[in-house]
Structure 1
Amino acid sequence: MAGKVVLHYFNGRGKMESIRWLLTVAEVEFDEVYLTRREQYDKLINDGALMFQQVPMVEMDGMKLIQTKAILKYIAEKYNLYGKDIKDRLMIDMYSEGLIDFQEMFLILPFIEDVKPKLDNIQSRAKERYLPVFEKVLSGSIYLVGGKLSMADVLLVETSLMLEEKFPAILSAFPNIKAFQGRMIQIPAINRFLKPGSKRKMQPDAIYAKTVREVLSHMSI
């Protein structure tokens, strides 16, 4: 019998945060084991838990899952957040992978001193490349694909909130996305996740960056 889902990562957002979001929307309870020492990481490797010597790693259904996109797809498929057919899944994948690519621009911010050029680039990419896509799709649509909640919707609301943390007025030019965000945060599971004391992580700080450097200095975050 499979036990409780366990996440192995740092006490911060990074590549695990989207997984936390999706599990939350699926209403799956999970525990977390935070990496704070190099010895923990080495033990995971020596135990054969990390196929490519990378985290995130999720223990779920008797398996040790790695690779963020693969983990997200597994959760989405299992909990009916992955569309009704192969064409829906294709669109969900395209939207989701675009959002994941965009989110990766945020990952480097805790590890650099001069963040302004990076933030300027994030803002311009958001306004010119990413947000217009979703603004158009959401014109007259409640959800991104098939009139039904999916992984892509979860990633979009997560990304929209990340953007507003850095650029509070950024969605003013994208009313459909702002309205979508308003609907999404009323979903009970998301509403709870956004309240203090939940398992949602705050913006990464110097302690998070220091821990990552010490534990995983040569790996992707």
Structure 2
Amino acid sequence: MAPTLGYWNIRGVSAPIRYLLEYVGQPYEFKGYDLSNAQEWFGVKETLGFEFPNLPYLIDGDFKLTQGNAIIRYFARKHNLIATSEKDIIEQDVMDGVITEFLMAWVTVTYATPGKEEDLKRYRTENLTPMLQRFEKHLNNREYLVGNKLTYADFQFFERLDANIIMFPDLLKDFPNLKKFHDRIANLKGVKEFRASDRLPKSLNAGPKAKWNNV
């Protein structure tokens, strides 16, 4: 029986997990909960047998788990998309933290500011550009973030990068390494087809609190 991945019917935290699953050809069912009828989720939240019920969730046979990072690492271990040497594990741990910081900076400007033009300009100048400069340097003479092999971290970073490109279409004009990275992941087998399909939700964000690209 195919595993079930549950999440709001937006890209959000589920998109990197789905990219990985599409890339490896892992069959799965996506249970998308409608934000316009949030009771659809909250009505069943405490009935599905999760120790810490939340979205996203995964049901895979006897395994039931929540939290996006736990889910993507679960599949990464299954499909050898995870660091194995001590050196690469350390680098992967660092990337986990840095990508989280990258996400939280974006979430802050998306949810916690008025979302006006000046807020976006300040975010790009003070937060986004310095962070991209570091990633650009990190990707010099390498194709992937960790140990120069494809891992789950690449799918996570790709989605965060893609969200910022949607916000700023010219974002990568001065970042050739990041442009190559984005193109490389976007054109992976499975990922390319998934992103071109109507199965990938169009909205990045959720609900009225999101000031930009919300449902």
Give the TM-score of the pair, scaled to structure 1.
0.80
Deviation, structure 1 residue 153: 1.7
Superposed CA offset, 1:84-135 (max 9, x none)? 323212212321332133223444667578312553354231211x212221
Is the 1:21–1:158 Cα contact (8 Å) retained in structure 2?
no
Q: What residue in structure 2 maps to residue 71 of structure 1?
A: 71
Is the 1:110–1:204 Cα contact (8 Å) retained in structure 2?
no
Range 35-44 or range 156-165, more displaced: 35-44
Q: What residue in structure 1 maps to residue 101 of structure 2?
A: 101
Q: What residue in structure 2 maps to residue 41 of structure 1?
A: 42
Count how many residue pairs are aligned between Structure 1 and Structure 2: 205
Q: Percent identity?
A: 26
Residue 173 of structure 1: SS of its match in structure 2? coil
Is the 2:45–2:54 Cα contact (8 Å) retained in structure 1?
no
Q: What residue in structure 2 maps to residue 209 of structure 1?
A: 207
Deviation, structure 1 residue 157: 2.1
Q: What residue in structure 2 maps to residue 127 of structure 1?
A: 129
Superposed CA offset, 1:144-187 (max 9, x none)? 22221111222222222211100011111211111122222221
Q: What residue in structure 2 maps to residue 15 of structure 1?
A: 13
Q: What residue in structure 2 maps to residue 216 of structure 1?
A: none
Is the 2:53–2:66 Cα contact (8 Å) retained in structure 1?
no
CA separation in 2, counterparts of 1:35 and 1:29? 19
**Structure 2, gaps ≥5 residues long:** 211-215
- Pair 209,41 (structure 1): closer, same or farther in 2 beyond 3 Å: same
CA separation in 2, counterparts of 1:48 and 1:86? 35
Give the TM-score of the pair, scaled to structure 2.
0.82
Q: What residue in structure 1 maps to residue 115 of structure 2?
A: 115
Q: What residue in structure 1 maps to residue 81 of structure 2?
A: 81
Q: What residue in structure 1 maps to residue 30 of structure 2?
A: 32
Q: Tell me how large the CA RMSD over aligned residues is.
A: 2.6
Deviation, structure 1 residue 61: 4.2
Superposition map of 1:175-190 within 5 A: 175-190=176-191
Aligned amino acid, residue 22 of structure 1:
L
Q: What residue in structure 2 maps to residue 167 of structure 1?
A: 168
Superposed CA offset, 1:24-51 (max 9, x none)? 22322221222234254232313432x2
CA separation in 1, counterparts of 2:138 and 2:112? 34
- Pair 106,203 (structure 1): closer, same or farther in 2 beyond 3 Å: farther
- Pair 85,174 (structure 1): closer, same or farther in 2 beyond 3 Å: same
CA separation in 2, counterparts of 1:108 and 1:66? 23
Aligned amino acid, residue 4 of structure 2:
V
